[in-house]
């Protein structure tokens, strides 16, 4: 299985209402290639079955979405997360440690 496929398989494990991080996915894959994980998620052809919108930055901020860090894609990511019950204020996930899914 190639690297992107491994990232997508891991991402599918993140439950609705939770978020994970590029770092947590990297730990699950025994990889520190966090930027490559982000690029794999950017190229995700299986959304929403592979819920890449559930991946955030390790500091609790929203992170990127669809290759963007601001604008309409981030508003869309925020909306998707809110629909799943994740509370967000000022582009940060509220109660991030409790919302974090660890593999």
Spatial separation of the C-alpha atoms in residues 78 and 74, rounded to whole Å? 6
Active-site residue (options: 11, 52, 68, 69): 52
What are the phi and psi torsion angles at 66 (to 5°)? 55, 35
Q: Which residue has the tokens 């601001």?
A: 70
Q: Which helix (H) or strand (E) holds 89?
A: strand 88-89
Decide if 68 is catalytic. no
Q: Residues with catalytic annotation? A: 52
């Amino acid at each position: 299985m190639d690297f992107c496929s491994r990232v997508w398989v891991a991402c599918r494990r993140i439950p609705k209402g939770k978020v994970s991080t590029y770092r947590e996915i990297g730990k699950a894959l025994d990889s520190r290639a966090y930027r490559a994980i982000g690029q794999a998620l950017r190229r995700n052809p299986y959304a929403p079955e592979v819920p890449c919108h559930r991946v955030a930055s390790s500091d609790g901020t929203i992170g990127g979405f669809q290759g963007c860090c601001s604008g309409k894609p981030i508003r869309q990511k925020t909306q998707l997360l809110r629909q799943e019950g994740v509370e967000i204020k000022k582009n940060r996930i509220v109660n991030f440690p409790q919302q974090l899914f660890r593999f």
